[in-house]
């Protein structure tokens, strides 16, 4: 084997985090990505997966090979009816549907009244938005234009309806196993969290990556830390503080830099929406990054990811695993618990 290729296959330790080299040649560029252009609608007229089509057995194996210690980082935030959420979504509610006392008193459910062991059970009914708590926005989550179209040209008239999305729903998000990169913007600035409404620029991202000693590889999942997660606590009930901490985020320029110049296949963050709020002056939408990533590029967005433990341990490259629900029609992969492994 060529010496350069051998060297590129050797995992390198940089600043206490594991990085993984890639073989030279065609394998260094994931299928479908063009530097300076990104991803886009390139996978065929029926595609509902977008940039995650770039995942292959080889990329998953490369991601898993980053695991050297077996340590797991729980990236999910605990959620209940009192938890903070973006105001455009409904709150969640958990209600006891069946209880041991109730089924015994009712006496006519599944033969409980005649069970000599006194067995009973708990079962809960969930009333919950598909966009609260730790989640991954599906490609049909946001729309644009007079025809209300989303990724790949699917429209509300042809693929929407009162019973959920019929194209690009949560069930279309495949099991995700990717090489992940944490960009700790707050940490690189020696801050517990970024100031309210702080707009994260490409220069900020570059500075943080330099501070970490990490490079983004095309096909990586990239997560941007603002420090929001340190205020969540047991269930995210301090709405006043969280509302203020929820406003920093990336700009459209940063989203384009990460996708078009670096080849990110998934972008995530610790806030409810990843992008800075309010959007910079001159923006044509209140969510320009969402329109660009989900609609134009087919790049899913991970939201409310707890990045605090990764930052504390200075783990900047890791294996990212996210398995979302397969609830057909849902706009996001929700009630999920993604992990990072090193």
Is the model's pLDDT at 3 over the cut of 50? no
Q: What integer pLDDT is reported at residue 110 of this predicted model?
A: 63
- In this prediction, residue 106 carries a pLDDT of 74
Average pLDDT, the chain: 90
pLDDT at 13: 36
What is the spatial distance between Cα 290 and Cα 56, in angstroms, rounded to a whole number? 25
Helices marked H in the chain? 3-8, 57-64, 100-106, 156-159, 185-188, 202-212, 239-245, 252-256, 288-290, 308-312
List the domains of the chain with CATH numbers. Answer: 3-82+130-341 (3.50.30.50), 93-127 (no CATH)
- The angle at the Cα of 100, spanning 98 to 106, to the nearest 5 degrees, equals 70
> Residue 311: is its pLDDT beyond 60?
yes
Q: Which one is predicted more confidently, 90 or 71?
A: 71
| pLDDT tens-digit readout, 225-259 | 999 999 999 999 999 999 999 999 999 999 999 99
Place of tokens 């996001």: 332
Residue 21: pLDDT over 80: no
- Residue 307, pLDDT > 80, answer yes
pLDDT value at 9 more than 90:
no
Query: What pLDDT, on a 0 to 100 scale, did the predictor assign at position 65?
Result: 98
Closest CA to 73 of 324, 314, 275: 314
Report how far residue 273's alpha carbon sits from residue 25's, in angstroms, rounded to the nearest whole number.
36
Residue-wise pLDDT tens digits, 200-234: 999 999 999 999 999 999 999 999 999 999 999 99
């Amino acid at each position: 084997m060529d010496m350069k290729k051998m060297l590129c296959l050797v995992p390198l330790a940089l600043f206490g985090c594991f990085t993984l080299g890639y073989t030279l040649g065609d394998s260094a560029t994931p299928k479908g990505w063009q530097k300076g252009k990104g991803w886009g609608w390139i996978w065929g007229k029926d595609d509902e997966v977008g940039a995650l089509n770039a995942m292959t057995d080889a990329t998953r194996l490369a991601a898993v090979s980053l695991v050297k210690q077996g340590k797991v980082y729980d990236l999910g935030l605990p959620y209940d009816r009192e938890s903070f959420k973006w105001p455009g979504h409904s709150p969640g509610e958990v209600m006891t549907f069946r209880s041991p006392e109730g089924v015994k008193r009712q006496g006519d459910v599944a033969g409980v009244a005649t069970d000599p062991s006194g067995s009973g059970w708990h079962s809960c009914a969930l009333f919950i938005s598909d966009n609260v708590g730790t989640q991954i926005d599906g490609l049909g989550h946001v729309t644009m234009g007079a025809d209300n179209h989303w990724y790949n040209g699917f429209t509300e008239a042809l693929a929407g309806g009162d019973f959920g999305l019929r194209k690009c729903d949560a069930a279309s998000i495949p099991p995700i196993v990717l090489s992940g990169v944490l960009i700790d913007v707050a940490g690189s600035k020696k801050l517990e969290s970024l100031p309210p409404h702080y707009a994260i620029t490409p220069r900020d991202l570059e500075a943080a990556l330099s501070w970490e000693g990490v490079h983004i590889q095309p096909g990586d999942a990239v997560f941007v830390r603002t420090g929001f997660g340190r205020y969540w606590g047991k269930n995210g009930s301090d709405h006043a503080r969280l509302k203020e901490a929820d406003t920093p985020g990336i700009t459209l320029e940063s989203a384009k830099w990460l996708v078009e110049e670096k080849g990110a296949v998934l972008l995530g963050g610790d806030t409810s929406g990843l992008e800075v709020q309010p959007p910079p002056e001159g923006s044509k939408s209140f969510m320009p990054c969402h329109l660009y990533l989900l609609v134009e590029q087919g790049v899913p967005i991970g939201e409310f990811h707890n990045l605090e433990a990764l930052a504390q341990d200075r783990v900047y490259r890791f294996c990212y695993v996210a398995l979302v629900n397969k609830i057909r029609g849902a706009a996001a992969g929700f009630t999920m618990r993604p992990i990072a492994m090193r």
